[in-house]
Structures are given as C-alpha cells and as structure tokens.
Amino acid sequence: MSNTPSHRLQRAIVPPKLPHPINPELVKHAEERAGHLQDRIADAITRFAGSMQFVYIHIIWFAVWIIFRVENYPFGLLTMIVSLEAIFLSTFVMISQNRADAKRQIIADQQWNTVQEEDQQNRQLLDLSQQILELTRAVHGFARLAAANTGASGGAAEVGEPH
C-alpha cells in the first residue's frame, strides 16, 4: 500500500469500502445492489456519512461559518442547511437499515435451508442406524442359532465353516 502524501490525503477524505462478502448469497445480493445506480449512490452516501471524515468536514465547516461570520447569530441559514441535511441523512440511515435487514434475511433463509438439509441428513442417518441395528440383531440371532446347531451336532463344525 502506498504511503505517499496524496494517498494519505485520499485515505483521510474517502472512507474505505467494506470488504467483499464471502457468503455466496451475500455476494449475489451485493451484485444485485451494484446493478442499480440509486443503490450505489445510497451506499456511497451512507458509507461517507458514517465516517470520521464526515465529522471532520462538519467541524471545519461550522468553525469557518462562525469564525468568518458568514451570517450573524442565531445562524438561521446554517440551521436550515443542517436541518435539511439531517432529514436526508436520516433517510439514508433508514435505507442502510433496510439493506442490513435484507442481508440478515438472506443469511437467515440460508441458515434455515441448511437446518432443513441437516435435519433430512439426520433422519437418513437415523434410518441407516436403525437398519444397522436390525441387521446386527439378525446376525446375532443367526450366530446363536448356528452355535446352538453346532452344539447339538456334537461340536464337529465351527460357525462359518462348511459341513
């Protein structure tokens, strides 16, 4: 990673993107969102508005506004601008929450499918275990019968040996 002054400035101004998901369903969801311009814009705004760069810019902006007396106290225009910004940002927060809910739903659906598949596999394993138990009981019964027959014939033949 480059550590030039311009790269450091870019990192300070532009918040980093989130890492790409590894869950296949979330990858598909991210690709669908990337296909819509309005989703890409909303994602970029919420990523920026949720960063410290956003805070720093506002600190500088308010300080400049007040120090250079862009308007007199009680700062009606600044209040109106900040109020409008808050309205839009709250909308983007809700959009972000909807996006997070959609991701959680995708993961929950995938987990439910996994649970259903595991339940089916468990049922198959239980059926196989029951079949093995029945076969084991049958083999033991056959071995007891063969041993009883061997004992009745005077022990001349061993179990499993031809007569």
pLDDT band at 41 (very low <50, low <70, confident <90, very high): confident
The answer, as to whether pTM is greater than 0.85, is no
The model's pLDDT over 86-143, given as tens digits with 9 standing for 90+, comes to 999 999 889 888 888 888 888 888 899 999 999 999 999 999 999 999 999 999 999 9
Q: Which two tokens stand for residue 120?
A: 């089916």
Boundaries of every domain in the chain: 5-118
pLDDT > 60? residue 162: no
pLDDT band at 15 (very low <50, low <70, confident <90, very high): low
Tell me, what's the pLDDT at 138? 96
Average pLDDT, the chain: 84
Three-class SS of the chain: CCCCHHHHHHHHHCCCCCCCCCCHHHHHHHHHHHCCHHHHHHHHHHHHHCCHHHHHHHHHHHHHHHHCCCCCCCCHHHHHHHHHHHHHHHHHHHHHHHHHHHHHHHHHHHHHHHHHHHHHHHHHHHHHHHHHHHHHHHHHHHHHHHHHHHHHCCCCCCCCCCC
- The Cα 5–Cα 29 span in angstroms is 36
Contacts of residue 47, Cβ cutoff 8 Å, sequence gap at least 6: 15, 17, 18
